[in-house]
């Protein structure tokens, strides 16, 4: 039967606790590349058909995540965790409208759409299940095919059967009408007192329906995650998949790919150069001929063509135009917008501000809730004093403004076009176009400094520092 014959549903089993994770977070919500495991499973399966997710332990957390991120998914509850077969029973009513169902565990973040489609396309009716060849089959159910296809759990295997390396992956493609009948026949007469989905194979055999093993070439694709070590391993595999794809597909250059981490939603628009120990997360878009130097972290950022982020740059939820230079040691955050050819330099923080085209904030400054025009030069140590203890206020700086070093701009305040502030000024009033603003105390020189200090200390020999 081809994938086009009959409607296909997907059931994701996501009710387990995951005791070996030793975490309060539900197993399927454990992060892989900063996204829950369940995200990666949903990303692979959603293109194939309607999805129902069976939730149980920590189900409120899982349901909330699905509502926010996968609103088309159907959430079904397994209040009592009585095994995989029992979990599928929770979907009986929902499944009744479909011809076939793909059943997948929610802890398989390496599953790809292509592998899931291969399983669907290979289904010949009845019950099919995915298998893979394991170098070490210990712990897996062995797949035996003589005289009929069946799965034998390791504890029930003979010595000869234990040597079999083809094992059950725990992914099933099943015709729905006989599945619903087989679920009614499942028992829980076993050491765990649970309904096992694997026992459904016996029902199909009794009904005289085909039972087929579908071999998956890549064992990684059906790798389950049961503990933090395996969680880290699937993260590395996914990282390599994404990076290799971008390096081959778009010519991205990674000096040390093993030290670079990128998320699944990162997009490269063309050739880029990524130095060692870089992290790029969220819905970040990297333009052509961009360079990102070591120890920089980008999250939900748009970076325009030809821009360069020097070492230790941290940029979040912001955008950089074309030919921008940022860093080293800069922090750009909260909807900041750095326009084409601008420069945000050493130890500069930009928060919720617009830096106009060709403007420069070279070093040791804070631009918060500010709008800078074009070709502005901000002297070292300049701060926009945007918070009065209760509210945030705006600073507006026009085109071609020169702000002297160590200027405090006390918002709300506006600096007009072509204006200038004297170094060390505290600016509390608007500055007209073309004006020079100086807001500092008059300098007073005291020639006998040591005598003045002795007098203040009571006339002794001690000199105050």
Task: Please give the Cα distance from 326 to 307 (Å, whole number).
Answer: 8
DSSP 25: S
Q: Residues within the annotated binding site?
A: 13-16, 27, 78, 83-84, 107, 141, 153, 168, 226, 333, 351, 366, 377, 380, 386-387, 405, 423, 440
Spatial CA neighbour of 38 closest among 190, 201, 225: 225
Query: Which one of 40, 86, 123, 363 is the catalytic residue?
Result: 363
Task: Please give the Cα distance from 255 to 270 (Å, whole number).
Answer: 16
Angle of helix 113-122 relative to helix 37-45, nearest 10 degrees, comes to 50
Q: Residues within the annotated binding site for acetyl-CoA?
A: 380, 386-387, 405, 423, 440
- What is the per-residue DSSP string for 398-462? -TT-EEPTT-EEESSEEE-TT-EE-TT-EE-S-B-TT-EE--SPPP---S-HHHHHHHHTTSSS-
What's the burial of 346, exposed, middle or buried (CB within 10 Å: 0-12/13-18/19+)? middle
**Largest interatomic CA distance in the chain:** 110
What's the token pair of residue 180? Answer: 């619903």
3-state secondary structure of 215: strand
DSSP 184: H
Task: Please give the Cα distance from 165 to 187 (Å, whole number).
Answer: 28
57 is catalytic: no
Q: Residues within the annotated binding site for UDP-N-acetyl-alpha-D-glucosamine?
A: 13-16, 27, 78, 83-84, 141, 153, 168, 226, 333, 351, 366, 377
Task: Please give the Cα distance from 228 to 314 (Å, whole number).
Answer: 28
Q: Residues within the annotated binding site for Mg(2+)?
A: 107, 226
φ/ψ (deg, to 5) at 420: -145, 145
Task: Please give the Cα distance from 314 to 319 (Å, whole number).
Answer: 12
Residue 355's CB is within 10 A of a number of other CB atoms, namely: 31
What's the burial of 144, exposed, middle or buried (CB within 10 Å: 0-12/13-18/19+)? middle
Evaluate the CA torsion angle 128, 130, 136, 138 in order and state its sign. Answer: negative
Distances (CA, A) of 439 to 39, 388, 409, 413: 55, 19, 10, 13
DSSP 48: G
Give the active site residues. Answer: 363
């Amino acid at each position: 039967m081809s994938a086009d014959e009959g409607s296909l549903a997907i059931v994701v089993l996501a009710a387990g606790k995951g005791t070996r994770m030793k975490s309060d977070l539900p197993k399927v919500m454990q992060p892989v590349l900063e996204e829950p495991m369940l995200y990666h499973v949903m990303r692979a399966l959603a293109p194939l058909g309607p999805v129902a997710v069976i939730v149980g332990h920590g189900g409120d957390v899982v349901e909330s995540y699905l509502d926010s991120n996968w609103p088309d998914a159907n959430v079904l509850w397994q209040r009592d965790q009585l095994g995989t077969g029992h979990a599928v029973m929770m979907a009986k009513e929902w499944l009744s409208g479909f011809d076939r169902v793909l059943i997948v565990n929610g802890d398989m973040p390496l599953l790809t759409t292509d592998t899931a489609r291969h399983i669907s396309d290979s289904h010949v009716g009845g019950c099919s299940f995915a298998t893979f060849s394991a170098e070490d089959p210990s712990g897996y159910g062995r797949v035996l095919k003589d005289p009929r296809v069946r799965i034998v759990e390791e504890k029930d295997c003979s010595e000869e059967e234990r040597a079999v390396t083809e094992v059950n992956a725990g992914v099933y493609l099943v015709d729905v009408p006989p599945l619903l009948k087989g679920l009614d026949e499942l028992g829980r007469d076993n050491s765990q007192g649970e309904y096992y989905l694997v026992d459904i194979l016996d029902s199909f055999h009794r009904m005289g329906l085909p039972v087929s093993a579908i071999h998956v070439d890549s064992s990684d694709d059906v790798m389950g995650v049961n503990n933090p070590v395996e969680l880290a391993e699937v993260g590395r595999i996914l990282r390599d998949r994404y990076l290799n794809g971008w390096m081959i597909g778009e010519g991205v250059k990674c000096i040390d790919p093993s030290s670079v981490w990128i998320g699944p939603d990162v997009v490269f628009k063309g050739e880029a150069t990524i130095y060692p120990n870089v992290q790029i997360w969220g819905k970040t878009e990297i333009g052509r001929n961009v360079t990102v130097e070591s120890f920089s972290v980008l999250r939900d950022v748009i970076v325009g063509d030809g821009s360069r982020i020097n070492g230790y740059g941290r940029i979040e939820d912001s955008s950089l135009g074309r030919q921008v230079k940022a860093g080293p040691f800069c922090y750009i955050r909260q909807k900041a917008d750095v326009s084409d050819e601008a420069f945000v330099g050493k130890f500069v923080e930009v928060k919720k501000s617009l830096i106009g085209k060709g403007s420069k904030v070279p070093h040791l400054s804070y631009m918060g809730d500010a709008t800078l025009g074009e070709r502005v030069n901000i002297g070292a140590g300049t701060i926009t004093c945007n918070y009065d203890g209760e509210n945030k206020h705006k600073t507006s700086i026009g085109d071609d403004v020169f702000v002297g070093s160590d200027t405090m701009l006390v918002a709300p305040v506006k600096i007009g076009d072509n204006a200038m502030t004297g170094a060390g000024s505290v600016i509390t009033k608007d500055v007209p176009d073309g004006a020079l603003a100086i807001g500092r105390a008059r300098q007073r020189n005291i020639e006998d400094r040591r005598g003045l200090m002795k007098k203040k200390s009571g006339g002794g020999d001690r000199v105050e520092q």
